[in-house]
A and B are shown apart, each in its own frame.
Chain A
């Protein structure tokens, strides 16, 4: 069974630029999550989708972050414009039952 795929794996941008991350969940998993993991901290949920609908985006900085999941499969997370404090690893996860989430390898973003 193929795991959660994410791209790119690494991205370096300057502040005020925009960036987008892509995630392809495990086939058949209806629930998709985006997490932000800042160095030295645990992952923090940004947004959760159930199929193509948003379930929880309470911790998503909506003035600069946006996410979509068209057709209930792939998802993209965008940051526009980026700030220095957005430097982190962005993790995508998917779930069939909800309790156990399967994570992708993450995208390491560095904002200079």
Chain B
């Protein structure tokens, strides 16, 4: 049962344009969402997060939007840069004692110069 889904395995965007990565979830009890970025042969690095009580969080070029009624979140990168090329994972947490993260399968973003 895949509780966190990233339906686009890959995305290609031109440098300077907007990248939009999408994530859907099924468990309405998730209370915290995170995006991680992963380069080859490295571990995932934290990018940005959002609490379920908010609908938007912004950090520089990165903005995460949360639509709880649709159980959908998205990551916007504006403007996209070649260094943004990586695999992006969406993750969700139920909070509580464990703060266990449930990850999606990832989206490979390629930013073309």
Q: Do A and B truly interact? A: yes
* Residues of A near any B CB (own CB < 8 A): 4, 31, 40-45, 48, 55-56, 91, 93, 95, 98-106
CA–CA, A53 and B98, complex, Å: 12
Is the pair A48, B100 in contact by a Cβ cutoff of 8 Å? Answer: yes
Question: Told that A42-B89, A43-B44, A91-B43 touch, could you supply 9 new A-B pairs with CB distance under 8 A?
Answer: A40-B105, A43-B103, A44-B103, A48-B100, A95-B99, A99-B49, A102-B46, A103-B44, A105-B41
Which of B43, B91, B100, B105 contacts A104 (CB under 8 A)? Answer: B43
Closest B residue to A44 using CB positions: B103
Interface residues on B, range: 20 to 34
Give a binary string over B83-113; 1 marks a CB under 8 Å from any A CB, 0 the rest.
0000001010100011111011110000000
B97's nearest neighbour on chain A, judged by CB, is A55
* Best-buried of B42, B89, B100 by chain A (most CB within 10 Å): B100
Q: Which 8 A-B pairs have the closest CB atoms?
A: A42-B103, A103-B43, A98-B99, A56-B98, A103-B44, A105-B43, A43-B103, A104-B43
C-alpha spacing A42/B92, complex, angstroms: 12
Report A-chain residues with C-beta under 8 Å of the C-beta of B42. 105-106
Which residue numbers of B lie inside 8 Å of A, CB to CB? 4, 32, 34, 36, 41-46, 49, 89, 91, 93, 97-101, 103-106
CA distance A56 to B97 in the complex (A): 9
Residues of A within 8 A of B4 (CB): 42
Q: Of A4, A42, A55, A100, which contacts B98 at CB under 8 A?
A: A55
Query: What residue in chain B is nearest A97 (Cβ atoms)?
Result: B99
Report the Cα distance A46→B7, complex, angstroms: 24
